[in-house]
Amino acid sequence: MKKFISVTACITLLLGCDSYKNSTSSSPEKETMASKPASANDYATSITAADLKEDLYIYASDEFEGRETGKPGQKKAVEFLKSHYQSLGIVSPISKDDYFQEVPLQVINTPEVSFKVNAKEFNYFDDFISLAASNSDVLNTNELVFVGYGVDTENCSDFKDLDVTGKVVVAKSGEPKNDDGTYKITGTNTSSKWSNGRQEVASKRDAAKDKGAKAFILISPDLFATYSGFFKRQEERGGSGRLSLKGDNNPMHFFMVGDNLGNTLVEGYKNRNTPETIITNLNLKYTNKSDDMQSENVAAFIKGTEKPDEVIVISAHLDHEGVKDGNVYNGADDDGSGTVAIMEIAEAFQKAVKAGHGPKRSILFLHVTGEEKGLLGSRHYTDNDPILPLANTVANLNIDMIGRTDPKRDSDNRNYVYLIGSDKLSTELHDISEAVNKDCCNIELDYTFNDDNDPNRFYYRSDHYNFAKNNIPVIFYFNGTHDDYHQPSDTPDKIQYDLLENRTKLVFHTAWELANRDKRIVVDKAPK
């Protein structure tokens, strides 16, 4: 693959960008070649539709077998990425010649569970399911701690004044409301993540885990019907194949139950909101039947020249859906487009390094695994094993699907990108993003899915969220879904490469500004 192509072979951006000149300039008496003002345009020209297309036709080819996490195609993908960074001379932040951050996983097979309440036996799939690959264990208790909705925020916590360490905690679905019908957490008629599907499940699980619970039981008849039906169909096809992170430092049993078992555990739970201790006999025998699996994040690193301890993380997920019924799910847009964008952004930054204009702050190019399985690779990075300290991470720019257009978008302007999260934690990041685009890229920035009331809740559905929940400002770049989303028809011939080039350059310009400005951006809002 050709790299470091000449400027004359590229599409030239408009010149200007005084904001970059101001942020990267040294005083005249101290200027050398390395510190002389450099425009991001000098290096953005190496990002071309032709190179992006060349990369993507390889990365989203049938040879890579849909890049399913842990499968041979995903292993080919990570080797391809490693070779790319080696060819550019961009080093690993992990160890010499090892660009792979190991992500230990478990393939969750249906466990053997005996679940008895007051000597009455309940059935897997019909009454309960397990949502965690817990350690094999026997648990007997004569009391449960009912925590109402199980929410835990600064202004609204069902765990207030409760010690649930080592105990079995039970919560119900939903979240509390005020007398006027508004939600207590948001103060509006719009619910929060604490009662929205997958985010509700994860949020309540994490709250119970953080409080030290031995086991957590979520009563949610509607979600249970959906989850249980799905898991049962997978089991009937020969195994669930669900993945989870292995090596949890605080293993916790986690069950979702339906109405029948819910009422047996906490009689009349629907009308009970106040946390209380419930006296009952619970006998649980759990045998884990899961298998170990190994996957990898790919990380490459350019060290900053002046503020090397401060890091900008540019991320995209490297995985996709694999092969189903003989069909390869190539994932050209999802997220081959984000992957090749990072590859070309890295080339542009390395070109600047070679010219003596390396970024002031460090840049981590992070390709994460397991996004399609539940944001697993990024969660391992942020929650279990940060390669670089989260406290020193200035921002995360996450790219997930930037090669197509949204057919449902009510606009004739195809030169757009959806931005999500830019103002959630840092007003300054949002303002910088707007200014960068105005100066150099002139893409229509569409904030439709940034609305807190967006029913799609995309803010919680890609890898940036694992950074955002750790108080790290994020921008999520996204083109929206289309008919080929998660279908074998998401192929590289359908990518609009001029748009992919424009959007990739926008991310590069934004990263350039964040990396080279004098002061680190300020976090002035609380995580959501």
Write the pLDDT tens digit of every residue in 469-488: 999 999 999 999 999 999 99
Residue in the structure block whose two tokens are 């097979």 = 109
Mean pLDDT in residue range 357-366: 98
Q: What integer pLDDT is reported at residue 21 of this predicted model? A: 34
With beta carbons less than 8 A apart as the criterion, state whether 265 and 217 touch: yes
Burial (CB count <10 Å: 0-12, 13-18, 19+), residue 411: exposed
Rounded CA separation 299/386 (Å): 11
Instruction: Name the pLDDT band for 249 (thresholds 50, 70, 90).
Output: low
Chain centroid to CA 368: how far?
9
419-467, pLDDT tens digit by residue?
999 999 999 999 999 999 999 999 999 999 999 888 899 999 999 999 9
Closest CA to 107 of 196, 3, 234: 234
Domains and CATH numbers, the chain: 7-104+295-516 (3.40.630.10), 110-289 (3.50.30.30)
Express each pLDDT in 12-59 by its tens digit: 333 334 333 333 333 333 333 334 457 899 999 999 999 999 999 999
User: Which residues have a Cβ under 8 Å from the Cβ of 165 and sit 6 or more positions away?
Assistant: 211, 212, 213
Q: What are phi and psi of 497, to 5 degrees?
A: -70, -25
For the cut 70, the answer to whether the pLDDT of residue 248 exceeds it is no
Residue-level pLDDT at 197:
87
Per DSSP, helices labelled H in 291-416 are 338-354, 376-379
Is 79 strand, coil or helix?
helix
Q: What are phi and psi of 194, to 5 degrees?
A: -75, -5
Looking at residue 9, what DSSP letter applies? G
Indicate whether 2 pLDDT > 50.
no
Average pLDDT, the chain: 91
pLDDT tens-digit series, residues 112-152: 999 999 999 999 999 999 998 888 999 999 999 999 999 99
Q: What is the pLDDT of residue 15?
A: 33
User: How much is the average pLDDT of 236-262?
Assistant: 83
Indicate whether 317 pLDDT > 50.
Answer: yes
Separate counts of helices (H) and strands (E) for the chain:
12, 19
Could you give the C-alpha distances from 495 to 54, 331, 491, 500, in angstroms and in order? 12, 11, 7, 8
Q: Are 73 and 66 in contact (CB under 8 A)?
A: yes
218 vs 248 pLDDT, higher one: 218
Q: Residue 39: which residues within 8 A CB-CB, separation 6 or more?
A: 15, 17, 20, 21
- Per-residue confidence at 246, pLDDT binned at 50, 70, 90? confident
Token reading at 170: 């039970």
Tell me how far CA of residue 30 lies from CA of 27, 252, 485, in angstroms: 6, 58, 52
pLDDT confidence band for 7 (50 / 70 / 90): very low
For the cut 50, the answer to whether the pLDDT of residue 10 exceeds it is: no
- Backbone torsions φ then ψ of 396, nearest 5 degrees: -120, 125
